[in-house]
Amino acid sequence: MVSFFGGRIKFDRNELAGAFGDIGTDLPLIIGMIIASGLNVTNVLVTYGSMQLLTAFIYGIPMPVQPLKAVAMIVISQKVSPEIIYGGGLAIGLFVLVLSLSGIMDLLAKIIPKVVVRGIQMGLGINLALTAMKDYIPAESINGYFLAFIAFSLVLLFLGNRKYPPAIFIIVLGIMYAVVFNISDWEFRLNGHFSGCHVDKSQ
């Protein structure tokens, strides 16, 4: 076991295993945002990883606030431009910072019923599912419907299972499918976004 900052932050095999706890949700959403909006892969992954490390060292937990899922669902379903994503990320960060420093966050947590939060999450989930059924599943013809059926079955089979999260199996299934059927298409779609860190100086 390795300790940092006087033992406040510890890293052992349990922490190593926990480091992959969000891969089932984060990785598909990040890849989906990259493909849907044409984001630069290097910029996204380096920035995201750096912020994860920073929040871990400051707060002692992987991520204190996670607006990624809600934002990612909107980005993928609406295919917004990178400029809007950058501006939205900055605005959300500043807004959450103000709420936290002012104490309003705690007040909102007490006032807003959980059913409202769950309703928003459900609405975003339905929007993302409808986008998949409309644009992505039919594009793969019978293979797409078969893949969606297996993925949905895995979700139902392992729903609520903390030891074996269904997202892990779905990721493996998706990678296997891409390797067998779609590897050339993925190379074409992602290759244009793999490059060094890029700063737009056109303006």
Over pLDDT 70: what percentage of the chain?
70
Altogether, the residues listed in the chain come to a count of 203
Residue-wise pLDDT for 36-48, tens only, equals 778 888 888 888 8
Sketch the domain layout of the chain as residue ranges.
Answer: 13-112
Q: Which residue has the higher pLDDT, 81 or 70?
A: 81
For 141-182, what is each residue's pLDDT tens digit? Answer: 888 888 889 988 988 988 877 677 777 788 788 888 878 876
Determine the pLDDT at residue 22.
64
Residues contacting residue 107 through CB under 8 Å, at least 6 positions apart: none
- How far is the first Cα of the chain from the last one, in angstroms, to the nearest whole number? 49
Q: Tell me the pTM.
A: 0.51
Q: Which of 115, 17, 113, 28 is nearest to 69 (CA)?
A: 28
User: Residue 188 has what pLDDT?
Assistant: 47
